[in-house]
Amino acid sequence: MGLQTITEWALSAAMSKLYFTYSAMNAGKSALLLQAAYNYREQGMDVMLWTSGHHGPAPDAHIGQIESRIGLQADAHLYRVQTDIYSAVEAYVAETKLHSIFVDEAQFLTKAQVWQLARVADHFDVPVLCYGLRTDFQGELIEGSATLLAIADDLREARTICFCG
């Protein structure tokens, strides 16, 4: 194998992935997300943050907040059921170099939105890191989580002590 072939192989092996970090409530998922986004920014990299508009700001709002219970927070784009995340990212990368996407409350993503995020990772070579609950309080899979569990390239469990029954 020539040097160029090895380099091409290494670059193709370094394709970005769709990640899903899941856990119970109060495990610190939002804090982990904000810490990772901070680390990217500290290195001079541009990140795009998303959170659910499912339970929050006015229906016409486009910017929300990711907040952790320990007081960390950052502005984030809001997604709702009708949001085409792929198109929003496509417009964003036309203007600037994007290094990573972080999605909080990923359990509220639709199946279509999870597939859009997978396409973002593949087409724009940008890692997409999703954080959310795996199941609802009755132990039932939630649409976004179920789809992420099925298609994410990398699954991670954030462990915590849970006395939630």
HSE at residue 2, side-chain half, CA atoms within 13 A, is 3
Residue 146 lies in a domain: yes
Domain count of the chain? Answer: 1
Residue 9 lies in a domain: no
Range of the domain at 23: 16-157
Residue 4 lies in a domain: no
Among 42, 67, 90, 105, the one annotated catalytic: 105
Residue 144 lies in a domain: yes
Residue 138 lies in a domain: yes
In sequence order, what are the residues at sequence separation of 6 or more whose Cβ sits closer than 8 angstroms to the Cβ of residue 11? none
Of the pLDDT bands very low, low, confident and very high (cuts 50, 70, 90), residue 63 is confident
Residue 27 lies in a domain: yes
Q: Active-site residue 90, yes or no? A: no
For residue 145, which amino acid is it?
S
Residue 56 has pLDDT above 70, yes or no: no
Residue 163 lies in a domain: no
The pTM of the full predicted model, rounded to 2 decimals, is 0.84
DSSP state of 104: S
- Encoding tokens for residue 44? 């001079």
pLDDT in tens, 104-152: 999 999 999 999 999 999 999 999 999 999 998 888 999 999 999 999 9
pLDDT at 71: 86
Residue 165 lies in a domain: no
Residue 165 has pLDDT above 90, yes or no: no
CATH at residue 100: 3.40.50.300
